[in-house]
Chain A
Amino acid sequence: MNKRIVFVFALVVALLLASCAPAATPTSAPPTAAPATSVPAPTTAATATQAPPIKIGISLSLSGDFSADGMAFQQGYQLWADMVNKNGGLLGRQVQLDIVSDASSPDQVQTNYQKLITVDKVDLVFGPFSTLLTKPSSVVANRYGYALVEGAGGGPSVFTQGLNNVFDVSLPVANNLTSFVQYILSLPPAQRPTTAAYATEDDPFTQPQVDLAKQQLEAGGVKTASYQVYPAETTDFNPIGDKIIASKAQVVVVGTLLPDFTAFLQRFRQQHYNPQAFIATAGPDQGDAFTKAIGGANVAEAIMVPNGWYAGSNNPGNADMVKAYIAQYGGTPDSISSDVPEAVSVGQVVEQAVTKINSLDNAKLIAELHSGDTFNSVQGDVKFDSTGQNVAALAYLFQWQNGSLVPIFPANAAGAVQPEFPKPNWP
């Protein structure tokens, strides 16, 4: 009797879990009204449908800590696949994404890529979300001679492993805040802040950025009033926020993702602490998700965030991607997560490289990506150095103004507006 109950229960749980699992494995790419890519279609769509599809294996964080970013990456990869398939496919074959969820776990992501390569026998692999997961993934891909092109694993530690198969299409992480530093140091001496406070999660994505910004601002004469590093498992950010507040720093730089940034912002509001400039490595770039989490776009006024992309940039294919995204997923240009163009850029770069070598051979692909050629992407030019970092990427500085995230630096960026400085008091 007991065995029967346990069996029935296990069956129910298994069925429920299967029905609730957010992972889409594998997903084919239904054609949608998408724009042409930057690469001309090599064959007709009719030819493409006759050949077997090209399978691209991807592990994404569809649950766990990185699930919001993982979902956005899934949208981006799917958007690219739709664009390619609409235009006749890649090398005359349709593209099929084989996406599995790693639950934000560095262990699971290794298992996933191992399975994608050895069991699913995918032709190519694209990267997961975050430096934390890219690092172990690149080792697995390297073991089997696969190129791992990715858009969100830009932490320096990814590129010091001595691997030649990992390529990040986005701005190198450590340089993310350089545009902010340049902006602050470009202010007239009378206006320029003299003190800054820093707090960062001990994450390979956030800490290198904050550390470099601190070093550069100190060199520029901005004294460090407070510097704190906190572990990823921190849930109570109030004491950290209180130390920043007590430092009375004029500039606050936080190495955060959305949840910890929200906690800092709430604490600063509650304590009526109004720094002249407030910037985060990530969080304010999450569009609607960000403004909703902090309680409205008016709260976001003058908050800054660095990024390598924005909806209004005039990079090749960007306007079409924005249009296609809104057609497929709804929302507004401002609501598009910056994860989406990072994922699309991965697809674009691989598409151009594969087309150029006219092959899916990963050894040839790695050689092409290391060749010094410049590729186009919705994030701008992509050119890899010997370690696989994109040396052609530009860092833009953004600020929330009147409910929109707008570029403010460099001043000659498309659509750049006058920065709002100092930041007004909290509403």
Chain B
Amino acid sequence: MAQLILEAIITGILSGAVYALMASGLTLIFGVMEIINIAQGALVILGAYLSYALQDKFHIDLFMGLLLTMPVMFLLGLLIEIVLIRPLKRDRTMLSILVTFAIALIIEGVLGVFFGTNYVQLHSWYIDSTIQIGDYYLSYIYIFGFVLSLILLGLLYFLLYRTKFGFGLRASMQNRTAAELIGIDVERVSAITFGIGVALAAAGGMAYGATSAFNPASHLDLISRLLVIIILGGMGSMKGAPIASVVMLVIEDVTSVIWSPVWANTVFFALLVVILLVRPRGLFGQLESRKQ
């Protein structure tokens, strides 16, 4: 049993890193723009399909393909923000839910037309090949996915805390109006932020598609998990999303092996309720400061 628990913890941490990529984009967008991007799950699946198409049609390696899919998804994010999100001037948070849900449905429909509704999965040598650690075999995709997550989240951290753009972005996160008053072009920051969030979805999508079968409708399950992650981590908290991702996956996986898969979600949500009772803003939420 000890071996199984250890394996569950390792799997939870490594899988959590993949979820961290997807959830970071979601929480970043909320942090800057105060909108809930319900389409994040669909954008993740779109990213997975783009990787699939590049591999299937052009035999481009999944990781190399990110050099194409991430910029493309960044531009798509810019387009979505400028055309569909920016016009929302009042009740942004509520209206954004409707708008981004519509975007999710459009993406699902378009993917269904181009790729059909059958489940697919990404394949490469590092998905099936493993490295042996004692009696346990660890697939390279989990290691590579973890490293990818560390690199991209590290770059994001650098962008946020070590660049002038990051300064403007964090100022917008803290107080949108005050940021505008000191001369920050908040609309430009918002568009780029949305683009970054969607580009992260491309990377998350590739890693997700390499570890799970997916079809155009898979975004529905995914978005509910991503929303739970950013609520636990604290809406808009860049530190909270990765930690909450790992916490969720580890709790679910460990519960699954020591008790039952049926209780995996229940135990996690019970803990979530307890945490939210103690810290209503989530683990690292900054809601109060945002209300200034």
A residues within 8 Å of B by Cβ? Answer: 2, 5-6, 9, 13, 16-17, 19-22, 62-65, 67-68, 70-71, 104, 202, 228-231, 233-236, 238-240, 242-243, 246, 258-259, 262-263, 266, 269-272, 286, 289, 292-296
Contacts and interface: CB of A to CB of B under 8 A. Distances in A.
A16 B106 contact: yes
A242 B127 contact: no
Nearest to A239: B256
A238 B261 contact: no
B118 A104 contact: no
B177 interface: no
Interface in B106-141: 106, 108-110, 112-113, 116-121, 123, 127-128, 130, 136-137, 139
Contacts of B253: 236, 238-239
Contacts of B256: 230, 236, 239-240, 243
Interface string B148-182: 00000000000000000000000000000000000
Contacts of A104: 217
B289 interface: no
Contact of A293 (B99, B120, B257): B120
27 contacts: A13-B106, A20-B112, A22-B112, A63-B109, A65-B220, A68-B118, A229-B261, A231-B261, A235-B212, A236-B11, A236-B253, A238-B11, A238-B253, A239-B11, A239-B253, A239-B261, A239-B264, A240-B261, A242-B8, A242-B11, A242-B257, A243-B257, A258-B118, A258-B213, A262-B213, A270-B139, A272-B137
A259 B105 CA distance: 21
Interface of B: 3-4, 7-8, 11, 15, 84, 87, 89-90, 99, 102, 105-106, 108-110, 112-113, 116-121, 123, 127-128, 130, 136-137, 139, 211-217, 220-222, 225, 249, 252-254, 256-257, 260-262, 264-265
Contacts of B257: 239, 242-243
Contacts of A67: 112, 117, 215-217
Contacts of B215: 67-68, 259
A230 B255 CA distance: 12
A236 B252 contact: yes
- Enumerate the 7 nearest inter-chain pairs by beta-carbon distance, A residue then B residue, closest first: A20-B109, A230-B261, A67-B117, A239-B256, A289-B118, A259-B213, A262-B213
A343 to B, nearest CB: 16
Contacts of B118: 68, 258, 286, 289, 292-293
Nearest to B84: A9
Binding site secondary structure of chain B: helix
A228 B258 CA distance: 12
A258 B4 CA distance: 25
A22 B4 contact: no
A104 B215 CA distance: 14
Contacts of A202: 262
A270 B11 CA distance: 13
Nearest to B7: A242
Given A16-B106, A242-B7, A263-B213, A229 B260 contact: yes
A211 to B, nearest CB: 15
A67 B127 CA distance: 26
Nearest to B210: A266
Contacts of B106: 13, 16-17, 20
A227 to B, nearest CB: 10
Contacts of A258: 118-119, 213
Given A22-B113, A270-B128, A293-B213, A236 B249 contact: yes
Given A9-B99, A236-B11, A236-B252, A242 B117 contact: no
A20 B90 CA distance: 29
A13 B221 contact: no
Given A233-B221, A240-B261, A294-B121, A5 B87 contact: yes
Nearest to A257: B119
A21 B109 contact: yes
Given A239-B253, A259-B119, A22 B262 contact: no
A229 B262 CA distance: 7
A293 B119 CA distance: 6
A246 B11 CA distance: 15
Given A246-B3, A258-B119, A286-B118, A270 B137 contact: yes
B8 to A, nearest CB: 5
Contacts of B222: 235
A13 B87 contact: no
A243 B5 CA distance: 10
B4 A246 contact: yes
B119 A68 contact: yes
Contacts of A19: 109
A246 to B, nearest CB: 6
A238 B287 CA distance: 35
A271 B202 CA distance: 28
A6 B92 CA distance: 12
A253 to B, nearest CB: 16
B217 A236 contact: no
A291 to B, nearest CB: 11
B217 A65 contact: yes
B267 to A, nearest CB: 12
Contacts of A292: 118, 120
A240 to B, nearest CB: 5
A234 B261 contact: yes
A239 B217 contact: no
Contacts of A62: 117
B260 A228 contact: yes
Nearest to A228: B261
A67 B212 CA distance: 17
B181 to A, nearest CB: 23
Contacts of B130: 270-272
Nearest to B266: A231
